[in-house]
Structure 1
Amino acid sequence: MNKSQAIIRLIFVLIGCFSVLKAYAWGDDGHRVIGEIAWHYLSPDVAKEVGLLLEEVGEPHLAESATWADRIRSNAQYDWAAPMHYINLSRGWRSYEAARDCPPAGCILNAIQQFAAVLADRSRPESARAEALMFVAHFVGDLHQPLHTGLYSDRGGNDVQVQFFGEETNLHALWDIQLVSRVVADWQDYAQRQTEIIRPGERQLWQSTTVEEWARESHQIAHNLAYTNEIQLGEKYFLRSQDSVEIRLQQGGVRLAAVLNKALRKRGLNLADNECKPGSC
């Protein structure tokens, strides 16, 4: 291979990597933050079972497993899961109706409920439950990224070209990657600090809501904040988006813990979500 061929090959590799990255909600570190926050709020019995299920499929911990559903997107075996990462909602959308809003191929709201049920079913093979756990961990995170409830016409902002601090990107990728990278420097340190910031009252309030309400929150942020007529975006856009990014990562982690605690609590034991206090799980 000569020098020119090598350069061309490198360009195509980089383009391919960038194309994959654009599909990753919150980027890997955002998903890891959500998984790590969730781990902090799991009840002890649930944390033990989560660890055993992840060990079954070779995942080191919940935080890393939250990236699995993006890692397997290029695997044809999981093509069926592609529509489950998002839901397209109109600008004037107000309430969720599954028959109207969720296509036959599936959507993120139904996927969270579907895989939470598989996870909870201890008659299922452990490998199936482990995959369900990883889908839930990822999809709860995805639903808290506002543009995963974006418009069908622009593919959730993927077709909205913008520049962020002079870098060519699109609105969806901006929320997936660039905003998070400016908020999260070290995902482990960041996640730990969030568990020190989140107040018990906030946690209980966030855990008391439904997946439909999570979608409504993302939809409001998408249309009140994320979508913009501007093309040149920079410090002003980042500063007005930063708080929403941080809150959505916090809420995603807290709510993921609630879903897992509910799905995996043992029959006959009272492991209510709000009994696991910060620092005690």
Structure 2
Amino acid sequence: MKIANNVFRVALLVVMIAAAPRVFAWGGDGHRVVGELARFYLEPDTREKVERLLDSVDEPSLAEASTWADRIRSDDSYDWAAPLHYINLPKDWQGYDEKRDCPPAGCLLKAIERFEGVLGDRSATETARAEALMFLAHFVGDLHQPMHVGLREDRGGNDVEVTFFGFDTNLHWLWDSKLPAGFIGDWRIYAEEAAEEITPEQRAAWRSGTVEDWAAESHELAHRYAYTDRKALGEDYYLRNRDRAARRLHQGGVRAALLIEQALDGN
């Protein structure tokens, strides 16, 4: 275990040096895993429709397109999309009320509804539908990162300073990239293996419920497992949450495929 711990610390150090703190959910590789799993679970006809839309905006794959909504954050013309990556919910939240929970600037749940609608609107331009597809794939991934339904007062964990294996970070960024860095090596290989491991029973169960139900899952995970009074986190925290984080990526892929299918097939 000591050797494994040292290996993980070295891998984590590489990740931390390579990427400055940001507020992107799951990091690039996490979103690529969600996008690749979604592609795997699309019906062949829907996959062709997706590929045509992505070709129209020069995106090579759904995996890469799933990172687009973070890549455009440096473009001022997309500043309006910044509040759509998250929804702040109180600890005692009992269910989604749009008027109460979603500010006028928008929120994650409203964004998913909006872009699923644009994707399915055959009167919309090809570019609008392609962007809706990329937003939808990304935001479903965001929804499954528990800290993206975190508390308003700490900005979803961004203001909760912790150390992880001795490295300074914050709780949001820990869940975005540092936690997944422990179990995702090559994202392509990881997604391929995950697709083989997800059972038909799991897929059927994960496709049930509503977007609000999926948000409730993240809310429970955030307050039951992610938030902690401890400031020095390491192996115990990682091992306790590794499988939970992995499952959220898997669920995000299955559910992104479901919403894309519904939009493009009109069901």
String of CA shifts for 1:217-274, please: whole Å, max 9, x gaps: 0000000000001011000000000111111000000000000111111x6xxxx7xx
| Off by >6 Å, runs of 4+ in structure 1 | none
- C-alpha deviations, 1:1-46, integer Å up to 9, x for none? xxxxxxxxxxxxx999614xx2110000000000001111101111
TM-superposed CA distance for 1:155, in Å, is: 0.2
The separation in 1 between residues aligned to 2:82 and 2:134, in whole angstroms, is 14
> 1:54 is matched with which residue?
54
Q: Are 1:133 and 2:133 counterparts?
A: yes
Aligned to 2:71: 71
Counterpart residue number, 2:102 = 102
SS at match of 1:103: coil
Report the residue type matching 2:196 in the other structure.
Answer: E
Aligned to 1:5: none
d(CA) in 1 for partners of 2:26, 2:19: 16
1:11-160 → structure 2 map (5 Å cutoff): 18-19=20-21, 22-160=22-160
Query: How many matched pairs?
Result: 252
Q: Secondary structure at the match of 1:183?
A: coil
CA distance in structure 2 between the aligned counterparts of 1:74 and 1:16, rounded to whole angstroms: 18
Report which stretch shifted further, 42-51 or 202-211: 202-211
Q: Give the whole-Å Cα distance in 1 for the aligned partners of 2:201 and 2:94.
A: 27
Rounded Cα–Cα distance in structure 1 between residues aligned with 2:181 and 2:66: 17
Q: Secondary structure at the match of 1:99?
A: helix
Secondary structure of the residue that 1:73 maps to in structure 2? Answer: helix
| Pair 1:83–1:15, CA change in 2 (3 A) | farther
Question: 1:109 offset after TM fit, Å?
Answer: 0.3
Map 1:235-250; keep pairs closer than 5 Å.
Answer: 235-250=235-250
Confirm or deny that 1:185 pairs with 2:185: yes
Matched letter for residue 123 of structure 2 = S
Equivalent position of 1:264 in the other structure = 264
The whole-number CA distance in structure 2 between the counterparts of 1:43 and 1:186 is 25
**CA distance in 1 between partners of 2:118 and 2:136 (Å):** 10
Q: Residue 259 of structure 1 aligns to which amino acid in structure 2?
A: L
Gaps of 5+ in 2: 1-15
d(CA) in 2 for partners of 1:178 and 1:32? 16
Structure 1: gaps spanning 5 or more residues: 1-13, 273-281
RMSD: 1.4
SS of corresponding position for 1:18: coil
Distance (Å, rounded) in 1 between the aligned partners of 2:245 and 2:167: 20
- Cα separation, 2, equivalents of 1:48 and 1:209: 27
SS of corresponding position for 2:20:
helix
Q: Secondary structure at the match of 1:114?
A: helix
